[in-house]
Structure 1
Amino acid sequence: MSLQKKTVAIAMAAITAAGAQPALAAEFTFNEKTNADLAKKLKIPVYFAVPASARASLPKDIKTTDKLIDFKHPDALKAQGDVGLRLVVAKRSGLAKRLGQSGLVQTGDILLTFRTEWGGAGAYPNIQMGISHTGFAYVGKDGVVRNLDNPLDGEYVGRGDLTSQHYRTLNYLHIIRPRSLTDAQKANLYAWAKRLNDNSKRVYPSQISFNQDYNAPKFRPGRPLTFVKEFGQIALGQGNSGKPLDLYCSEFVWSLLSLRNCDPAKSDGDFNGSRVPSCIKEPMEPMKATGNVLPNHGRRSYSGLADGPLLVIDQMDLPDDQRRPLLDSIFVENPAGLANMSVGHRKVAEEMQPRFERLKNYYIGMTGRMWQHWRARLIGTGFNWAGIAENYSPTSYLINSLLPANNNNRTMDYVATVVIE
């Protein structure tokens, strides 16, 4: 071989080796300088992070070339609860493949769109903890993550590999994992999701449509989950009765997870019958407006739709002079912050600001002294009786992970947050 050819061969081998980037075994680690840099990048209030008790157990040898960072929120460094985020700092190119092959995303996981710019924008975006959308994840036979979302269209689903317009333009994703999914349940969810993805153009929007009213869930306490049965019938190609089944994004995911015990290859007859199949089970208890976790953190307690920041701050165990200003900050109206939101979300935030401001005394009371708890409980009960339906908002999946680890109603764990560069 000539010297020139040998030089070219060596160069090509080096390029190939560099491009391959073999996955390295790693775990989430803390670095003070990196932490400070990411704090400046994120610019989130502390109640947009989560305590250590929310986190799923993960192996210490995650095979990925992405950076795994144990981010500790600066405002919580001297507090209890180890409040922060597990950050997967990743390039957009090849993201779905790396997340799937590393196991950081698994079949059945929930993908929450996280808007850091919502932090401090007002009561509504703060209580929503910056979460605007819910998607479902499953891992294909090729090890690549597939997303399934409602609307089942090109903007949200696209090719189904996190490259749709929605996923291509966002920068942060929370990964939430339902607890204790078995291999059989994952196989069922994979089969249901693949059917829906493969037939999305056939079923959307003629059979499954998008409901823009997040305050109108199909769930009714004590009633059969008929809408989940109808959802399954559509996925099985059995059609639906009359008008399309309209579901908002988090309700779509809740319905899909409700089918985890149903094998679509064996369920045709069950879904053809007059009754709701016995295999349909709630994946998470729909939430009232406020819960009863505080102050006792009982094993049978439940969280509420408006409890997210409250439960994070409770874990920090701050003294009164630090806790009160932090609670107050959640409810401050911020027109400049609202300007960072989309037109649709901004309109909702403006409409909800006065309503959510009334939660302030509930927050202060539930984290205050014993005599304040009773008054706060009355305020919370008032919200629950004010016509707010039991629901499964996008934020509810993260809120559920904030329940105590041994809580009977906890069915979700926080895995990590993907930071897309």
Structure 2
Amino acid sequence: MLARLQFALTIMFHYLFPPLSIGLGLILVITEGVYLKTKNPLYEKITKFWVKIFAANFAMGVASGIVMEFQFGTNWATYSRFVGDIFGSALAAEGIFAFFLESGFLAILVFGWDRVSPKMHFFSTLMVCLGSMFSAVWIIIANAWMQTPAGYHIVGEGMHAKAVIDDFWVMVFNPSSMRMLFHAIIGCWLMGAFFIMSISAWYVLKKKHLDVAKKSFVIGLILAFISSLAAAGSGHFLAEKVAETQPAKLAAMEGHYITGTEGAPLYLFGIPNSERQTVEYGIKIPGGLSFLLYGDFKKTIAGLDQFKPEDRPPVGITFQMYHLMISLGTYMLLLTSISLILLKRNKLFESKFMMKIYCISVLAPVLANQAGWIATETGRQPWIVYGLMRTPDGLSKSVKANEILTSIIMFTLIYILLFLVWIFVIHNKVKHGPDESLHEK
């Protein structure tokens, strides 16, 4: 449990930063692309401002990600030996095709404004954006393989067993990889869009840098609305695959304990009680889950009673995190829809209430991303590789509990300091604002 807690701490902290880099990277491509097309210096000023934020965030993503990878060899050595052939290829591809691409062009993005042509600078912005997304591609492929293993065979037995790739592309395009990837990338776009709208809304409330703030907000709003719609669709397609490949996870996510003949209900909220095999205080749509998955209110869906008790995921946290993600996704879709209506009526930026809402709504995609991954990972339990290796079997045999606890305390303190530094740097850049030497024509 301590090893799992430590990995959860490091990965959840790390996952604050790469999604934001991916979302900001796309917006940088949009704003600089508009600048190249229109030659309007306002969009140059907008791009230069958000590049500063992007660079600071990128540095934090790199620093926080290093610790996470070391844990594979320390806390999870047996697991690393088992999946080394699979993860080695995916992580090598991530380093070659993603990290070097992103970090190599980052220098031109940050420092090359007056040193390269505008088209070359835009190309570097595009490469940084693609590099950040490629990084997500290979990490998610590796995680998706843990959910739905494919393209492998097992060599050896017992502690010396390991999974070896039969077909690299079958491993890459395993049953859940592309659906997980699309859903995760869309979540990153939401983080970038709401982050930009939050800072822009603060500028509007303070009546500062209004030219940059309003243009940035509109770009973020359009991206957030499109991404909210896409998140709902991609989430539905991912749930369909989970129902096919990980039925126990789906049952835990939906609090579906008992297999019935009248279709599975869809719970809007509630409190799962595994002892009583029911969802207490729940509001449900009878047959709703069956209809969403199969278009038939009467379709039978396997409940948790179809699986051995030792093969069932923890229902409480999986159910609540899954429903928290959906609730926050619904909130973001409704908020951006209302905002587009107000924008069309020229009332959005006059509404202090809406601007205040957006200042704090940056938390919505952050929490939704975290909740979605918690549901994904806890729903896979008790398997670290679904159907092949149980989580306790992947632990290192030589690392003691007190050593893990000591490192948890140490890394917690370090991460608190790192986060405070990040807040300080971002606050200073936001307080300074865009470069006022660039003016709109």
TM, length-normalised to structure 2: 0.27
TM-score (normalised: structure 1): 0.28
Instruction: Answer 1 or 2: which has greater helix percent.
Output: 2
